[in-house]
Amino acid sequence: MARLKVGVLISGRGSNMGALLEACANPAFPAEIVTVISNKADAAGLATAHAAGVPTAIVDHRNRSREDFEAELNAALKSAGVELICLAGFMRLLTAGFVTPWYGRLINIHPSLLPAFQGINVHARALAAGVRFTGCTVHFVRPEMDDGPIIIQAAVPVAPGDTPETLAARILVAEHRIYPQALRWIAEARVQIDGNIVHLAGARAVEEAVINPQ
């Protein structure tokens, strides 16, 4: 069976890209990364992708219109034969003109339990709100920021004395677990979108209550 061809978009170190690369390095994994594209030439993740033998490209967003930038980005993805896009720390908002043609084929990971704490400064805002749990979410992308049907989430308890940095580090571990899982499910054609709801074939919800603090 042919593996799903994936393009990953990054702007920095590409930590989640690394988790996806590791998963896809297994020939039995149902997806393969065919290109990594960054809008920044100095993104550390480009070296990681290169070391893994994955072709890379740079599509600079500076000194040009958003339409021109997205047109070049789209052309680079199509040229590589990409069937699904994974955003992994890609720090550019994509317009409806880019997102809509990729409907159902464009996913993102966000470090909160969406729809809570959309946007930036997520961990500091979670701590300021006094939540007992936060976490991360993989979702299909829509033109609105950090919006779209949710595929999978991981809850991470907030610990006494947490700082934004310590909380972010624990959430990142969870991110590295759920992003490859979401990609696997999509590649196995187990995911179906119904409006704003994702139906997952063979899914089982965790029944045990998780309480914090105890």
What are the φ/ψ torsions at residue 123 (nearest 5 degrees)?
-70, -40
Q: Tell me the C-alpha distance between 98 and 128, whole Å.
A: 35
User: Which member of 50, 61, 110, 123 is catalytic?
Assistant: 110
In a domain, 208, yes or no: no
In a domain, 37, yes or no: yes
Per-residue pLDDT reduced to its tens digit, 54-83:
999 999 999 999 999 999 999 999 999 999
Strand 106-110 relative to strand 133-140, pairing:
antiparallel
In a domain, 205, yes or no: no
Start-end of H helices in the chain: 15-24, 45-51, 66-79, 96-99, 122-129, 164-187
Any catalytic annotation for residue 110? yes
Q: Which domain holds residue 191?
A: 4-200
Count of domains forming the chain: 1
Per-residue pLDDT reduced to its tens digit, 151-210:
999 999 999 999 999 999 999 999 999 999 999 999 999 999 999 999 999 888 877 778
CATH of the domain at 85: 3.40.50.170
In a domain, 206, yes or no: no
Count of alpha carbons within 13 Å of 104, Cβ hemisphere only?
11
In a domain, 138, yes or no: yes
**What is the reported pTM?**
0.96
> What average pLDDT does the segment 115-131 reach?
97
